[in-house]
Amino acid sequence: MNSVDSARPTLPDGEQDPPIISENPTRPGHPVRAKRSTRSARKNRDWVHGLAMSAPAVVGLIVFVGVPFGYAVVLSFYNVRLGSPLAPSFFGLEQYRRLFTDPDLSGPFLRALLNNLTFAGVVVPLQTALALALAILLNRKLKAIGLFRSFFFMPVVFPMALVAVIWRLILARSDQGMLNSALDLVSFGNWGAFSWLGDATTAMASIIVLSVWQGVGFQMVILLAGLQQIPNELYEAARLDRATRWQQFRHVTLPGIRGTLVFVAMLTSVLSFRVFDQVYILVRGGGLDEDATRTVMYQAVTTAFDQNNIGQASAITVVFFLIVVALTLVQRRVVRPGNED
């Protein structure tokens, strides 16, 4: 709005002249005024164009994200079942009470929550550290380095439905499974066949391994870009000071990519709460131990889809969202620039 005022060559100080501002800008006048009026008319129409341009996306986001999100909160206060002849009844906080304290219903949900926390607790540090190691390893000026980067990035483009199936084969419980035969070979036959997916103690570890394999390239690429932002002079200076490789890593590399590292850890932790595909596929078709690997989203989908219990599934969804938002906020707060060291 100030740009219109400052465009007037004859009025150096618009602030002290309020009547001019309230003047109708579209009124025809002498040439200077006419020019000004088309300018402001264009400015005025900008809101029409701006609104029209953003409308499709905004409407789409409201219909498919905003409204359903609000609806999830509403549904979580009701007893709603799909295909039930009974009308939805108001339930208050009953769904949440059931999720957390009902002896019959809370078991699977709390287990899912615990599983998800375990998954995130292992995957976030493991995957971030691995991605960082790979990024440092691949941040060299070598011939064909791009090819090596592609190798590590490749699984990222694999649909999870496929990754789950490949690993189902690798972790197959028969003594002919890839991992079992490899272990058999290195242990000279002392290591019997093991049911990696079916055993409750290794089921989650299996899911973690295949998830990290699929996702680590994504974090690696982000960290690689972060590493490349660090000026080379810093390393040269460090080398002049006879800094060891570890000292260079500790005092040049780490501070240089701290922001990226935080971003990656945050992204990974949010992603790790969204785990669903691999668990669903391997439970349904791969003999994966369900109780040891059910996640919050798995619980939401089975509650909504298999039990038709929309109200409860919505409550799970709301809890899921609160966790994701809390993670985002906590991490933004804890690891803020200046808080380190």
Site residues for another protein, 40-99, by CB under 8 A, read: 42-43, 46-47, 49-61, 64-69, 71-72, 75, 80, 82
Cα–Cα distance, 105 to 71 (Å, whole number): 23
Contact mark string toward another protein, 176..215, x via CB under 8 A: xxx-xxx-xx---------------------------x--
Write out the H or E segment, with its range, that includes residue 278: helix 277-285
* Closer CB to another protein, 243 or 301, in the complex: 301
| Least Å from the CB of residue 235 to another protein | 15
Cα–Cα distance, 223 to 259 (Å, whole number): 10
Q: Can residue 165 be called a binding residue for another protein (CB under 8 A)?
A: yes
Window contacting another protein (CB under 8 A); options: 100-108, 220-228, 235-243, 330-338:
220-228
* Closer CB to another protein, 16 or 186, in the complex: 186
Question: Which residues in 295-334 contact another protein (CB under 8 A)?
Answer: 297, 300-301, 304-305, 310, 313-314, 316-318, 320-321, 324-325, 328
| Least Å from the CB of residue 172 to another protein | 6
Closest CA to 216 of 131, 114, 125: 131
Question: Which residues in 91-150 contact another protein (CB under 8 A)?
Answer: 134, 137-138, 140, 142, 148-150
Say if residues 191 and 183 touch (Cβ distance below 8 Å). yes
Window contacting another protein (CB under 8 A); options: 9-17, 18-26, 116-124, 170-178:
170-178
| Least Å from the CB of residue 120 to another protein | 14
| Least Å from the CB of residue 71 to another protein | 4
Cα–Cα distance, 83 to 29 (Å, whole number): 69
Say if residues 194 and 174 touch (Cβ distance below 8 Å). no
How many Å is the Cα radius of gyration of the chain? Answer: 29
| Least Å from the CB of residue 82 to another protein | 7
- Give residue 139's Cα distance to chain centre: 25
Say if residues 308 and 82 touch (Cβ distance below 8 Å). yes
- 187 exposure class (CB count in 10 Å sphere: 0-12, 13-18, 19+): exposed
Cα–Cα distance, 47 to 57 (Å, whole number): 16
| Least Å from the CB of residue 268 to another protein | 12
